[in-house]
Amino acid sequence: MDELDLAVLEQLKTDGRKSFAQIARALGVSLNVARRRYEKMVASGAMRIICVVDPRQMGYSAFASVYVKVEPPCLRSSIEQLMASPQVTWLAEMTGSFNLAIDVCCRDTDHLHEFLTQQLGKIEGVRETQTSIYLRVHKALSLPTHRSLGPEGIRPRRARTERGGADSPKHRHEEARATRRNTNKGGLR
């Protein structure tokens, strides 16, 4: 990913339905460039457009973060069971005293209690949990992009040099020619 890809992502973070024309206009590129960059990121799996539902509008009002300690032999099956639970909205393996962290979304505290005791508590290998209920969520679903990572931003991945990748002399020469050509035209490709 380069700076233009990241700029397209930044545009879509505010409105995932933004048109290619709006993105192109905001970034000073052609409509086709904006469309190609979008399609490339979707095809590679670097980005996907999803519908984000406000759970409170759907009647859910109990949100919690739960740290879970699972016996190592049972970890894989525990993860699979938790991933299948509709209440689990986020799941990660972690280091430290607990080996799993999950976020859950429930209708109310009774529903959260039911999840903790009847579902999570019955998973084989679960030895301990620590639950923190969220009182208010101020920011959600916001992943870092180049603007939020400091002056260097996200560095693009480079291909291996033995196959003529991004660090090969041939690639550097072609990249320098393209940069000179674009600088002379005064635009982005």
Mean pLDDT of 27-37: 95
Of 78-82, 146-150, 157-161, the range with the highest mean pLDDT is: 78-82
Amino acid identity of residue 153, one-letter, is G
CA angle 25, 51, 131 (to 5 degrees): 125
Looking at residue 141, its pLDDT comes to 64
**Statement: residue 155 has pLDDT above 50:** no
Give the gyration radius of the chain's Cα atoms: 23
C-alpha 6/C-alpha 4 separation (Å) is 5
Report percent pLDDT > 90 for the chain.
59
Q: Are 71 and 125 in contact (CB under 8 A)?
A: yes
**Statement: residue 180 has pLDDT above 70:** no
115-151: per-residue pLDDT in tens? 999 999 999 999 999 999 999 888 776 555 544 444 4
Looking at residue 142, its pLDDT comes to 55
Sequence-distant (6+) residues with CB within 8 A of 92 are 100, 101, 102
